[in-house]
C-alpha cells in the first residue's frame, strides 16, 4: 500500500509499505479522510522519531474484521481513536485518562496518512466509533481534535455566560471559538497576528478580534467593560502568549493551557497576583471516551459545524504540500489528506 512517510516538515515522501495483516482481535480500516493536525508539524516533537507515518485524525471504512471481533462488521464507517486509555488505572478512575500509561503507548499502525491502518485489539475495545449516517468522513476526521477541545472546556471549568478569550486563531483556536459559541459564551474575543486568521475567527463566531502585536490585556479590558476574560484559552505555545493570558484573565477566572510550549521553555508566573485574584490554571491533553462521544454528538446535532473549516484537500502523493501549508501557518485552516486518491 502507499503511505506518506514523514522525515521532516519539508520532506514527506510517498512510499510503499506492506498492507497490514490483522490478528484475531483486530480491524483493518481503509482511510478515507485524514486531517493534518498542528501537532503533526511540531518538528521538534516529531523529528526525533522520524521516519514514520503520521496522521491521527481519521475516518474510514472497516474492510477486514478479525475472527474474535463481534462488535464491528465489514462496511461500517468509523472514526478510530489512535490513543486509548485502560479505564481501570488510578489516573483513569480520577478522570485523568490522558495521563494513563496505556493511552501514552497505544496507536494504530502505521498512521493515518496511509491507505489502510491496522487497529490493535486494545483500540478495537475502546477506540472505535461508528459514524452516524448524517456525518461525512470529513466530519469524522474532526472528532479527535474537537474531543480535545471538549475536554479542555470541561477540565477548565467553563460555564455558560462567561466571556472567553482565545489566544491564537489557528485550527485549534478556531475550534475553541466554535465550541465557546455552541456552549453559550456571552462573548468570545480572539487574537492572532495573522489578518487571515483573524478574519476566520470573526467568521467562525468571535465577537471581537484583536491583533496580538498590540497590548492584548489592555484591549481585552476595553472590549469587556473594564474586566478581564472569565475563561482564557492559550492556543499558541509561545511564552509571550502565556504571559498575555495571565494578564488578561479576570479575578476568579481560569486559564487553560491548550497548546504545548517547546521543551525547556520556562515562563515567569506572577504567583502573588494569581493567588490574590483566585486564578485557576488548567492543562489538557488528548480526549477521553466521554469527550469523544460528546464531540460526535456536537457534530451530529450540528451544534458545531466543521465543513466550512476545510480549505485544502490533497491526495496521498501530495501530503508534503499539505504539510508545507500547515507548517507555514499562512492562508489555510484545515488541510485534509484523502489517501484513496
Residue 102's pLDDT band (cuts 50, 70, 90): very high
In the prediction, which pLDDT does 44 show? 87
Cα-based torsion angle of the residue sequence 189, 205, 59, 261 in order, rounded to the nearest 10 degrees: -10
Q: Is the pLDDT of residue 145 over 90?
A: yes
Residue ranges covered by each domain of the chain = 2-142+306-338, 148-283
Q: Is the pLDDT of residue 143 over 90?
A: yes
What average pLDDT does the segment 110-123 reach?
Answer: 98
Per-residue model confidence as pLDDT tens digits over 294-303:
999 999 999 9
Residue 332's pLDDT band (cuts 50, 70, 90): very high
Query: DSSP readout, 20-69?
Result: PPP-TT-EEEEEEEEEPPGGGG-HHHHGGG-SB----EEEEEEEEE-TT-
Phi-psi region of 287 (alpha: psi -120 to 50; beta: other; left: phi over 0): beta
What is the distance between the alpha carbons of residues 314 and 322, in angstroms, rounded to a whole number? 7
Per-residue model confidence as pLDDT tens digits over 311-326:
999 999 999 999 999 9
Asked whether the beta carbons of 58 and 153 are under 8 A apart, the reply is no
153: Cβ contacts below 8 Å, ≥ 6 apart: 179, 180, 183, 256
Closest to 97 measured CA to CA, from 285, 293, 294: 285
Report residue 31 CA to chain centroid gap: 18
Residue 140's pLDDT band (cuts 50, 70, 90): very high
What is the distance between the alpha carbons of residues 39 and 139, in angstroms, rounded to a whole number? 19
Per-residue model confidence as pLDDT tens digits over 29-84:
999 999 999 999 999 889 999 999 999 999 999 999 999 999 999 999 999 999 99
Look over the chain and give the mean of its residue pLDDT values, rounded to a whole number. Answer: 96
Asked whether the beta carbons of 167 and 216 are under 8 A apart, the reply is yes
What average pLDDT does the segment 306-311 reach?
Answer: 98
**Against a cut of 0.85, is the pTM above it?**
yes
What is the distance between the alpha carbons of residues 322 and 33, in angstroms, rounded to a whole number? 13
CB atoms within 10 A of CB 249: 26
* CATH code for the domain defined by 2-142+306-338: 3.90.180.10
Compute the Cα dihedral for 254, 270, 38, 216 and give only its sign: positive
52: Cβ contacts below 8 Å, ≥ 6 apart: 5, 6, 46, 110, 111
| Domain pair 2-142+306-338 / 148-283, same fold | no
Residue 267's pLDDT band (cuts 50, 70, 90): confident
- Superfamily of domain 148-283 in CATH is NAD(P)-binding Rossmann-like Domain (3.40.50.720)
Amino acid at each position: 500500500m502507499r503511505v506518506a512517510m514523514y522525515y521532516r516538515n519539508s520532506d514527506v515522501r510517498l512510499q510503499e509499505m506492506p498492507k497490514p495483516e490483522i490478528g484475531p482481535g483486530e480491524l483493518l480500516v481503509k482511510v478515507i479522510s485524514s486531517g493534518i493536525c498542528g501537532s503533526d508539524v511540531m518538528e521538534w516533537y516529531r523529528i526525533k522519531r522520524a521516519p514514520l507515518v503520521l496522521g491521527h485524525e481519521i475516518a474510514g471504512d472497516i474492510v477486514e474484521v478479525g475472527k474474535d471481533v463481534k462488535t464491528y462488521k465489514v462496511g461500517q464507517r468509523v472514526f478510530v481513536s489512535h490513543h486509548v486509555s485502560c479505564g481501570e488505572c488510578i489516573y483513569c478512575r480520577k478522570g485523568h485518562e490522558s495521563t494513563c500509561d496505556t493511552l501514552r503507548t497505544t496507536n494504530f499502525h502505521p498512521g493515518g496518512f496511509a491507505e489502510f491502518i491496522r487497529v490493535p485489539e486494545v483500540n478495537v475495545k475502546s477506540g472505535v466509533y461508528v459514524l452516524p449516517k448524517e456525518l461525512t468522513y470529513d466530519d469524522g476526521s474532526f472528532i479527535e481534535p474537537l474531543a480535545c477541545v471538549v475536554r479542555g472546556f470541561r477540565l477548565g471549568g467553563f460555564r455558560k455566560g462567561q466571556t472567553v478569550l482565545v489566544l491564537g486563531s489557528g485550527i485549534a483556536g478556531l475550534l475553541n471559538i466554535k465550541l465557546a459559541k455552541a456552549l453559550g459564551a456571552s462573548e468570545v474575543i480572539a487574537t492572532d497576528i495573522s489578518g487571515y486568521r483573524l478574519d476566520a475567527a470573526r467568521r467562525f463566531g468571535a465577537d471581537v478580534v484583536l491583533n496580538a502585536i498590540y497590548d492584548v490585556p489592555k484591549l481585552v479590558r476595553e472590549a469587556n467593560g473594564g474586566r478581564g476574560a472569565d475563561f482564557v484559552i492559550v492556543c499558541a505555545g509561545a511564552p509571550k502568549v502565556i504571559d498575555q493570558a495571565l494578564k488578561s484573565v479576570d479575578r476568579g477566572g481560569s486559564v487553560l493551557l491548550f497548546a504545548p510550549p517547546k521543551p525547556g521553555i520556562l515562563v515567569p508566573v506572577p504567583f502573588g497576583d494569581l493567588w490574590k485574584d483566585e486564578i485557576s490554571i488548567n492543562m489538557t491533553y488528548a480526549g477521553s471516551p466521554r469527550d469523544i462521544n460528546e464531540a460526535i454528538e456536537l457534530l451530529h446535532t450540528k451544534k458545531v459545524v466543521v465543513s466550512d473549516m476545510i480549505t485544502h484537500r490533497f491526495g496521498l502523493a501530495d501530503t508534503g504540500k499539505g504539510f508545507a501549508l500547515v507548517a507555514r501557518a499562512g492562508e489555510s485552516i484545515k488541510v485534509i489528506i484523502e489517501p484513496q486518491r
